């Protein structure tokens, strides 16, 4: 036994002395992945992702042994750079989306170039660059080893193939240990990939990223495999799915009327109740909300496709794709949508946007959704005033009115979608907009020397990201007010319903909200957390504050009501459908007026009811009312519901299930006719 221990010690020392660069690579890579988790999901004491990261790094590192010792540094430096970039991208992405990046985002990278400056100005933080230390350590160790002629000495004793094989075996053993610690839920979520935060928490960064590579190929390979099983699940789901519109007090109240939907870029709900120095931030939206149907607990269920996800989800009552975006990866599928359903009633469908038609592949996607015409940027508008990413909202709306007038004269009914743009991040032009709002704070302060009370002015939100955002929203609100007035002057409101919805939240950091709600003008900082007036902007506050406005307004209809039931973007189609007389057989949402226990499912797997917000990654929730009670069985049932909803929606998208279902029904119909 003593000889065995001595031999083991000697072999261990020899291994460590002759594998310095490899061990440096492994330790640094695992530490960086752990650092990312500490900054993001914060599961500090979970050993499982560490074991998974070690296994992946060992297997990748093992292949370096197939190179001669003097060339191994290039291999490990290259992989270190790859891992560092991976950590930086995911760190930045998590700051913005509270999720992790996907390879499928490369397909949408052209959509991000126009707002790249926002990443560095408003999103990127010093911690996002902290992972670079790994490269410096690897380079320094390599330089030191070169000076000591380390690689020449190792070359004389190293059997590269044997070391590679041994390292692979150790890596596989680590994988075996890790797999033994998994649950069926873990394995299921890894395969589906949509719950990214959960996967990183359980499987580590590198397993997540490798699995993501496979998931990102789904648009190409998924339709080739597993169709029969998915088709069976699809049929079984809709056999029991209660998605039919039922009559209520709002049934057909707008049937036969025109519809103009206003896609209000990045406008959030909390803005409707804000005012500064006597000036309301969104007076027009507030007025329309008070005069129409106002849904005050409404959430956009968008994923990485942001605005494009909302356009898709609203028009189809389906969830965004779990991998990639529908507009870029799945635009050529067949969908049942609001434009198509209304066209069956004789409507003309159009959409308008003040940006390039290629943005989010709208030129193609809007055709797939059933729009007859897409008006965009230089093709259809005179570029006489630009702010931010393209044509200003005021010019956009001003030029749109004559086009809508002509459409109304040529068609009995129309459905139009107006996609706003000026309020898109990064709001650099906020101070150039023609709707000024003063975001300073006036306060009373006692002069310590004289004892006299003085009136002072503090900067408050001036020059901050939140301040620029609020100024931009104030302008966007004015543009909406102008648009409504111009439509009225042209007689276009007499038989038209206006639907206004925020497409998603503004993706502003928590620190900006803390300043908004807890500002101390005396110090130009924040009030103490012990102050009774202090508002704790924690993760739950941040998530719940992401709700956006939904307003249904008509000039000649006295429908004034605030609807407080929680509601998601997938509920818009069935809710409007009941009002206008259409419905989709594949709608996953519900008419909000036919339910009092609605559930909003987010693409991450999180969900929201009137009683609880639940974070499925952290497996914890927050009760929203003091008298609310939610049982464990309810939570489990809602988790199953959320997972099923996401899975069925993804099945429809990836496998082009609606088209295949229609083809099957057509064949059955032709066969039956031939037998008659």
pLDDT of residue 346: 97
User: Is 497 domain-assigned?
Assistant: yes
DSSP string of 140-176, one letter each residue = HHHHHHHHTTHHHHHHHH--HHHHHHHHHHHHHHHHH
For the record, the structure tokens of 276 come out as: 């500064």
Do the beta carbons of residue 641 and residue 601 sit within 8 Å? Answer: yes
CA–CA dist 104, 106 (Å, integer): 5
595 and 497 part of one domain: yes
DSSP β-bridge partners for residue 264: 502
Q: Three-state SS for 514?
A: helix
Predicted TM-score of the model (pTM): 0.86
| Residue 572 maps to a domain | yes
How many Å apart are CA 243 and CA 226, to the nearest integer?
26
**Same domain, yes or no, for 518 and 565?**
yes
Mapped onto helix, strand or coil, the DSSP state of residue 268 is coil
Place of tokens 């996953």: 588
209 and 329 fall within a common domain: no
Task: For residue 219, give the nearest of 326, 362, 359 by alpha carbon.
Answer: 326
Tokens of 435: 């709707």
Query: Which of 158, 185, 216 is the C-terminal boundary of a domain?
Result: 216
pLDDT on residue 13: 62
Residue 186: other Cβ atoms inside 10 A:
17
Domains in the chain, number: 2
Q: Are residues 190 and 246 in the same domain?
A: no
| One domain for residues 46 and 190 | yes
Q: Is position 198 within any domain?
A: yes
Is the separation of the CB atoms in 406 and 250 below 8 Å? no
DSSP state of 214: H
**What CATH number is associated with residue 268?**
3.40.720.10
Q: Which domain holds residue 186?
A: 2-216
- Burial of residue 385 (CB within 10 Å: 0-12, 13-18, 19+) is middle
User: How do strand 519-520 and strand 496-502 relate by DSSP bridges?
Assistant: unpaired
Q: Are 517 and 616 contained in the same domain?
A: yes
Residue 516 within a domain: yes
Sign of CA dihedral 299, 304, 306, 308: negative
Cα–Cα distance measured from residue 603 to residue 582, given in angstroms and rounded to the nearest whole number: 26
Which pair of tokens denotes residue 279? 């000036």
Segments of the chain with pLDDT less than 50: 4-5, 7-8, 113-120, 122
Predicted local distance difference test score (pLDDT) of residue 120: 46
Query: Which two tokens mark 412?
Result: 């009995």
* Pair 389, 445 in one domain: yes
Same domain, 510 and 550: yes
In a domain, residue 650? The reply is yes
Q: 337-363: string of b/e by CB count within 10 Å (b at 16+)?
A: bbbbbbbeeebbbbbbbbbbbebbbbe
CB atoms within 10 A of CB 4: 8
Query: In angstroms, rounded to a whole number, what is the distance separating the alpha carbons of residues 241 and 318?
Result: 14
539: Cα separation from own chain's centroid: 16
Domain-embedded: residue 230 = no
**Is residue 372 in some structural domain?**
yes
Phi, psi of 441 (to 5 degrees): -125, 125
Whether residues 136 and 240 share a domain: the answer is: no
Boundary (domain end) residue, out of 166, 187, 216: 216
Q: What does the alpha-carbon distance between residue 535 and residue 133 come to, in Å, rounded to a whole number?
A: 36
Is-cis flag, bond preceding 426, omega within 30?
Answer: yes
Contact (CB, 8 A) for 194 and 604: yes
Quote the CA–CA distance of 332 and 220 in Å, as a whole number. 12
Answer whether residue 229 is part of any domain: no
Nearest to 561 by CA among 249, 317, 270: 249
How many C-alpha atoms does 266 have within 13 Å on its Cβ side?
20
- Whether 249 and 150 share a structural domain: no
173 & 285 share domain: no
One domain for residues 176 and 277:
no
What angle (nearest 5°) sits at the alpha carbon of residue 672, between those of residues 671 and 676?
115
CA distances from 595 to 34, 277, 292, 362, 574 (A): 44, 41, 20, 33, 12
Determine phi and psi for 549, rounding to 5 degrees: -75, 145
């Amino acid at each position: 036994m003593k000889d065995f221990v001595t031999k083991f010690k000697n072999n261990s020392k020899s291994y460590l002395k002759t594998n310095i660069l490899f061990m440096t690579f492994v330790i640094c890579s695992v530490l960086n992945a752990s650092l990312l988790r500490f900054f993001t999901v914060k599961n500090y004491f979970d050993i499982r992702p560490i074991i998974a990261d070690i296994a992946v790094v060992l297997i990748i590192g093992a292949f370096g042994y197939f190179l001669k010792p003097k060339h191994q540094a290039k291999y490990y430096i290259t992989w270190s750079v790859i891992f560092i970039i991976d950590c930086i991208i995911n760190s930045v992405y998590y700051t913005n989306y509270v999720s992790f990046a996907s390879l499928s985002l490369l397909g949408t990278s052209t959509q991000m170039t126009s707002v790249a400056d926002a990443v560095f100005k408003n999103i990127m933080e010093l911690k996002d660059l902290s992972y670079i230390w790994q490269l410096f350590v690897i380079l320094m160790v390599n330089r030191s080893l070169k000076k000591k002629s380390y690689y020449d000495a190792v070359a004389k004793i190293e059997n590269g193939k044997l070391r590679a094989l041994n390292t692979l075996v150790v890596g596989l053993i680590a994988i075996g240990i890790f797999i033994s610690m998994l649950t069926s839920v873990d394995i299921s979520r890894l395969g589906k990939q949509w719950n990214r935060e959960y996967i990183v928490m359980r499987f580590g960064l590198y397993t997540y990223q490798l699995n993501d590579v496979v998931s990102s190929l789904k648009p190409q390979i998924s339709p080739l495999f597993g169709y029969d099983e998915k088709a069976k699940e699809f049929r079984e789901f809709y056999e029991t799915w209660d998605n039919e519109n039922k009559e209520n007090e709002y049934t057909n109240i707008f049937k036969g009327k025109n519809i103009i939907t206003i896609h209000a870029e990045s406008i959030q709900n909390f803005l409707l109740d804000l005012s500064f120095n006597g000036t309301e931030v969104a007076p027009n939206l507030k007025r329309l909300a008070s005069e129409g149907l106002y849904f005050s607990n409404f959430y956009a269920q968008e994923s990485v496709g942001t605005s494009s996800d909302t356009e898709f989800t609203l028009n189809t009552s389906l969830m965004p794709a779990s991998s990639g975006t529908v507009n870029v990866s799945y635009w050529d599928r067949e969908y049942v949508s609001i434009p198509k359903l209304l066209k069956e009633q004789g409507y003309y469908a159009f959409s308008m946007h003040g940006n390039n038609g290629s943005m989010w592949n709208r030129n193609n996607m809007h055709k797939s959704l059933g729009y007859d015409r897409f008006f965009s940027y230089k093709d259809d508008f005179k570029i006489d005033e630009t702010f931010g990413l393209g044509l200003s909202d005021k010019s956009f709306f001003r030029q749109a009115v004559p086009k809508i007038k002509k459409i109304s004269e040529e068609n009995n009914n129309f459905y139009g979608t107006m996609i706003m743009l000026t309020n898109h991040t990064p709001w650099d032009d906020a101070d150039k907009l023609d709707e000024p709002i003063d975001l300073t704070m006036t306060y009373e302060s006692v002069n310590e020397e004289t004892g006299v009370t003085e009136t002072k002015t503090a900067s408050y939100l001036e020059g901050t990201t939140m301040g620029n955002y609020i100024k931009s929203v104030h302008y966007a609100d004015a543009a909406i007010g102008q648009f409504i007035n111009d439509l009225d002057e042209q007689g276009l409101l007499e038989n038209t319903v206006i639907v206004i919805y925020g497409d998603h939240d503004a993706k502003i950091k928590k620190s900006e909200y803390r300043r908004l709600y807890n500002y101390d003008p005396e110090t130009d900082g924040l009030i103490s957390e012990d102050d009774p007036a202090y508002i704790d902007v924690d993760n739950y506050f941040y998530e719940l504050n992401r709700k956006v406005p939904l307003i249904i307004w008509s000039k000649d209809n006295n429908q004034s009501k605030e609807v407080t039931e929680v509601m998601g973007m997938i509920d818009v189609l069935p809710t409007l459908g009941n009002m206008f007389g259409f419905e989709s057989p594949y709608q996953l949402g519900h008419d909000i007026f036919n339910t009092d226990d609605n559930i909003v499912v987010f693409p991450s797997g999180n969900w929201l009811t009137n009683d609880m917000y639940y974070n499925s990654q952290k497996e914890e929730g927050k009760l929203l009312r003091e008298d609310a009670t939610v049982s464990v069985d309810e939570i489990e049932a809602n988790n199953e519901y959320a997972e099923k909803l996401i899975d069925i929606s993804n099945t429809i998208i990836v496998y082009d299930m609606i088209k295949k279902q229609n083809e099957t029904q057509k064949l059955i119909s032709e066969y039956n006719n031939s037998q008659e």
